[in-house]
Amino acid sequence: MSSIYQYFLAIILMLYTTASFAKNTDQLIEEEKFIEKYEGFSSAAYTDSNGQRVIGYGHAVSSDEHYNQITKKLSETILIKDIKALEIFIKNTVNVPLSQGQTEALISLIYNWGKHNFLKSKGLEYLNQDNYDAAAHEFFSKEKGIVNINGKFSKGLYRRRQAELELWND
């Protein structure tokens, strides 16, 4: 009985995931291309400036994953999975309505910055207080935004934050 239940549960989950993916395919592709542009691709795992092991398009390798090499195709699949997980994370974390552009901007920001940093940020606090402008300033501005690597200003991160700000304002 238990295995039959698990079988039907797996089918329902698959149908739900397929329907959800089909509904948002264009948006997912746009988000995927945006992140790919700023992350770049590495077929070999490496340690980033924060000490995190990453691979592909900036995928943070978890302790239960054992990637040393990866293809672009597999990396794209993992990136889509990561984006979908971030969409759920944002829905469970942000308590105010977001436009599609704001959601896409946050997906890119959190993918790059990390969930932990986002959760403890002043920007999330402002956002959940319905102060969208202050949140955007905290996330994307040159003065307060996430634009430094190891305490040094990064033109690349600043360009990414400005592109995210454009999404936010759409």
The rounded distance, in Å, linking the Cα atoms of 21 and 168 is 23
**Residue carrying the six token digits 């592709």:** 29
Whether the CB-CB separation of 114 and 134 falls below 8 Å is answered with no
Catalytic residue among 31, 32, 39, 82: 39
Is 65 annotated as catalytic?
no
* Partners of 46 in the β-ladder: 54
Is 39 annotated as catalytic?
yes
Q: How far is CA 134 from the centre of its chain?
A: 21
The residues annotated as belonging to the active site are 39, 48
